């Protein structure tokens, strides 16, 4: 068994459960420190894996990384995605309005403001603010990881998703003031302008394409030295648990990886690229109206 992998999955499923580490440790009959050591890859007995699976309401096979992993909480999905990205040399994305690793400071600034304001307006302000800070921390960790690892990225963005992004702004669906919503729309416009520039310049290790036909469901294929994963999710990076309903999945099954890879390669052949894609993206900006 690869105990480091088990530990990573344990952390993601702990976040998925909504239980605090103290609660899980108490029910398991171990200290919180012992639970954290399991998450860091310490040797763990099969009986302990079985009991943890019961507590987390998942199959023991899920903790062993066998089969399909399911996540209904965006925070848990983002943590597991970060873990997979940590071992990936290539990221292939199909669908969405942006590729988070390439987003600008304007995106992160508007997102932090929107999440903080929405949390402050919640009836459980302290818990909501802690959750927002945790989510921003995870996104920051993903971006920092990419900056150090520099995995190759091929991302095919959707015209329809970009239109909605320009209309609604960053953190769509969050209950925020009109001032903050305006900042979120301006940040989205800045982001789309950046996307057009990246399409024209084609920096090393990054290729962005534009799909006129919106995918029925977006996904990512992440390839590392030892294995590949497919991640499908209804959760954009700028969505919190309070604004999302859905189930994200992650699997390393060969058949799943192969099918998604073929679909992605076909989509890339048909996608607009380079100056043609940049020109079309700028058309979308103009169609969205003045600043």
Q: Are residues 14 and 141 in the same domain?
A: no
Q: What is the domain count for the chain?
A: 2
What distance in Å separates the CA atoms of residue 270 and residue 31, rounded to the nearest whole number?
54
Alpha helices in 158-214 (DSSP H): 159-168, 178-201
Q: Are residues 77 and 18 in the same domain?
A: no
Q: Are residues 42 and 120 in the same domain?
A: no
Residue where a domain terminates, one of 42, 66, 90: 66
Q: Are residues 178 and 276 in the same domain?
A: yes
Degrees to nearest 5, angle at CA 20 with 15 and 23: 130
The burial class, CB within 10 Å (0-12 / 13-18 / 19+), for 83 is buried
Looking up residue 279, the CATH number of its domain turns out to be 3.30.870.10
Residue where a domain terminates, one of 32, 66, 100: 66
Predicted pLDDT of residue 82: 92
**If pLDDT is split at 50, 70 and 90, which confidence band does 242 have?**
low
Residues 100-142 have pLDDT tens digits of: 999 999 999 999 999 999 888 888 888 888 888 988 999 999 9
**If pLDDT is split at 50, 70 and 90, which confidence band does 231 have?**
very high
Q: Are residues 37 and 77 in the same domain?
A: no
Q: Mean of the per-residue pLDDT values for the chain?
A: 91
Q: Are residues 97 and 157 in the same domain?
A: yes
Predicted pLDDT of residue 274: 96
Q: How many Å is the Cα radius of gyration of the chain? A: 20
Q: Are residues 167 and 228 in the same domain?
A: yes
- Cα four-point dihedral sign 252, 63, 226, 219: positive
Q: Are residues 37 and 81 in the same domain?
A: no
Give which of 22, 5, 242 is closest to 132, Cα–Cα. 242
Q: Is the per-residue pLDDT at 234 higher than 70?
A: yes
What distance in Å separates the CA atoms of residue 72 and residue 269, rounded to the nearest whole number?
33
Predicted pLDDT of residue 3: 84
For residues 285, 287, 288, 290, the Cα torsion angle rounded to the nearest 10 degrees is: 80
Predicted pLDDT of residue 175: 85
Residues 43-59 have pLDDT tens digits of: 888 899 999 999 988 88
Q: Are residues 61 and 73 in the same domain?
A: no
Looking up residue 8, the CATH number of its domain turns out to be 1.10.260.40
Predicted pLDDT of residue 150: 85
Give which of 269, 11, 265, 279 is closest to 141, Cα–Cα. 11
What distance in Å separates the CA atoms of residue 125 and residue 230, rounded to the nearest whole number?
35
| 195 or 127, greater pLDDT | 195
**If pLDDT is split at 50, 70 and 90, which confidence band does 153 have?**
very high
Residues 18-31 have pLDDT tens digits of: 888 999 999 988 99
Residue 208: domain span: 68-287
Q: Are residues 238 and 122 in the same domain?
A: yes
Predicted pLDDT of residue 110: 96
Give which of 97, 235, 199 is closest to 158, Cα–Cα. 97
What distance in Å separates the CA atoms of residue 107 and residue 275, rounded to the nearest whole number?
24
Q: If you average pLDDT over residues 217-233, what whole number do you get?
A: 93
- Cα four-point dihedral sign 267, 271, 274, 280: negative
Predicted pLDDT of residue 64: 81
What distance in Å separates the CA atoms of residue 33 and residue 207, rounded to the nearest whole number?
43
Q: Are residues 73 and 61 in the same domain?
A: no
Q: Does residue 275 contact residue 202 with C-beta atoms inside 8 Å?
A: no
Q: If you average pLDDT over residues 216-231, what whole number do you get?
A: 92
Q: Are residues 246 and 275 in the same domain?
A: yes
Residue where a domain terminates, one of 66, 88, 104: 66
| 214 or 184, greater pLDDT | 184
């Amino acid at each position: 068994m690869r105990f480091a992998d088990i530990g990573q999955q344990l952390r993601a499923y702990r976040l998925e459960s909504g239980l605090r580490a103290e609660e899980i440790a108490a029910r398991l009959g171990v200290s919180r420190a012992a639970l954290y050591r399991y998450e860091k890859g310490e040797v763990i007995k099969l009986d302990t894996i079985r009991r943890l699976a019961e507590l987390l309401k998942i199959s023991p096979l899920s903790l062993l990384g066998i089969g399909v992993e399911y996540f209904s909480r965006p925070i848990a999905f983002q943590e597991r995605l970060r873990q997979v990205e940590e071992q990936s040399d290539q990221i292939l994305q199909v669908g969405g309005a942006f590729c988070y690793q390439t987003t600008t400071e304007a995106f992160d600034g508007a997102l932090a403001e929107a999440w903080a304001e929405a949390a402050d307006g919640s009836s459980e302000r302290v818990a909501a603010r802690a959750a927002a800070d945790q989510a921003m921390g995870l996104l920051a960790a993903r971006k920092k990881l990419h900056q150090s690892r520099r995995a190759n990225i091929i991302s095919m963005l959707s015209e329809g998703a970009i239109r909605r992004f320009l209309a609604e702004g960053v953190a769509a669906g969050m209950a925020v003031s009109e001032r903050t919503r305006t900042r979120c729309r301006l940040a989205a416009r800045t982001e789309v302008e950046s996307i057009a520039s990246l399409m024209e310049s084609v920096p090393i290790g990054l290729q962005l394409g534009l799909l006129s036909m919106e995918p029925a469901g977006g996904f990512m294929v992440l390839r590392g030295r030892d294995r590949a994963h497919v991640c499908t999710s209804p959760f954009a990076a700028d969505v919190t648990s309070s604004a999302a309903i859905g189930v994200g999945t992650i699997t390393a099954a060969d058949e799943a990886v192969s099918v998604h890879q073929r679909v992605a390669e076909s989509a890339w052949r048909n996608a607009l690229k380079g100056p043609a894609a940049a020109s079309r993206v700028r058309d979308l900006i103009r169609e969205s109206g003045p600043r």
